[in-house]
Amino acid sequence: METNQLQDYSEYHQLVSDFFKWPANKEEWEQYRLTDEQVQFFNENGYLSGIKFLEDWQVDALNHDLVRISDPNLPDHTLFHQFFSNASTDPNSVLFHALGAWRTTPTFHDILWNPAFVMAASQLLGDRAVRFWHDQLFCKPAKHGGVVAWHQDYSYWTRTIPLQHLTCWVALDDATTENGCMYYVPGSHNWGFLGKPELTGEMEGLMDFLSDEQKEAFKPIPIELNRGYGTFHHPLLIHGSYENSSEKLRRAFVLNLFADGTTSDTDTPLMPGAPATPKGEKISGQFFPLLIDPAVEFAK
């Protein structure tokens, strides 16, 4: 019997395709391990970039699926927690932004269980078990792609505590200064928790929340990446991206994480469409799967 019911891949908390091969033992995990120097760099600067996550064929497959799932006229988009064909506050700019792509296709689902990604994430969170928070798609079309204003990720996540989060940004096109790559303010993860500007609004909105000393130390650097490569950053690191004025697309996905044991600080749903996790209870369940537990994986 035919059915029109969509397949929701959030029901599966492991690889569902041959997009990646899950390591069978501790020895197979070693090829993905960050060096001590890389971990130290992250702790000191608040970010670590230039990590290869995907081969060209994998990027091609994700971009192929992205064309379909970004079409608001197809049923797939109803699986997203949020879906904005244009999230920009500037009507002359376009920024496609959506949360929940992992629910829609095997490819976007399986990037959560990319061994290179989960190994590095566990290390940067202090060799802890890692749980998925939510994903994001950010797509800037050529010539009129909008900005992502300066911000700290955790300013949008205070409904989850304690602060033990991590963000991974992966390029699906070569990301350059011309087409709107990410910029970081090194060391700003040590500035404490700041205010919450409009994410897709005025680029410099965060400046209203900075002290004179912080404004003086505000020295952004571009994070240019080849497609298939990614960057991690601390939840308090200030970052953003300028408009895409080039002739080329700038597509990327983001995977947001927290250490297992993070709890809800609200009685309302943590994500649109997800059941509420009562305040004070550990976050888990269908929409927040455990990605890796090193105590289990490295004991094999």
**pTM, 2 dp:** 0.93
pLDDT band at 108; cut points 50, 70, 90: very high
The 3-state DSSP class for residue 36 equals: helix
Is residue 190 within 8 A of residue 226, CB to CB? The reply is no
Identify the weakest region by mean pLDDT among 119-123, 209-213, 289-293.
209-213
Both tokens of residue 264? 């809800």
DSSP 35: P
Residue listed under structure tokens 């019911």: 5
Which DSSP helix (H) or strand (E) runs through 294?
helix 294-297
Q: How far apart are CA 133 and CA 290, in angstroms?
A: 10
pLDDT band at 97; cut points 50, 70, 90: confident
The 3-state DSSP class for residue 30 equals: helix
- What pLDDT score was predicted for residue 171? 97
Please determine, for residue 206, whether its predicted confidence score (pLDDT) is greater than 80: yes
Please determine, for residue 276, whether its predicted confidence score (pLDDT) is greater than 70: yes
Question: By C-alpha distance, which of 174, 181, 179, 167 is closest to 222?
Answer: 181
Q: How far apart are CA 156 and CA 163, in angstroms?
A: 12
Q: How far is CA 45 from the centre of its chain?
A: 19
Q: How far apart are CA 104 and CA 39, in angstroms?
A: 33
The 3-state DSSP class for residue 146 equals: coil
Please determine, for residue 183, whether its predicted confidence score (pLDDT) is greater than 80: yes
Q: How far apart are CA 80 and CA 136, in angstroms?
A: 10
Identify the weakest region by mean pLDDT among 79-83, 112-116, 162-166.
79-83
DSSP 260: T
CATH number of 41-297: 2.60.120.620
pLDDT tens-digit profile of 6-19? 899 999 999 999 99
Please determine, for residue 94, whether its predicted confidence score (pLDDT) is greater than 90: no
The 3-state DSSP class for residue 10 equals: helix
The mean pLDDT value for 156-165 works out to 97
- What pLDDT score was predicted for residue 283? 98
Maximum alpha-carbon separation in the chain: 67
DSSP 248: S
Domain boundaries, the chain: 41-297
pLDDT band at 86; cut points 50, 70, 90: low
Residue listed under structure tokens 């200064």: 177
The CA–CA distances, whole Å, from 260 to 161, 180, 285 equal 11, 33, 12
Is residue 46 within 8 A of residue 184, CB to CB? The reply is yes
| Backbone φ and ψ of 250, nearest 5° | -135, 100
Give 12-15 contacts, CB < 8 A, sequence gap 24+: 12/109, 13/289, 13/290, 14/113, 15/110, 15/113
Which DSSP helix (H) or strand (E) runs through 50?
strand 47-52
First to last CA, the chain: 43
The mean pLDDT value for 128-150 works out to 89
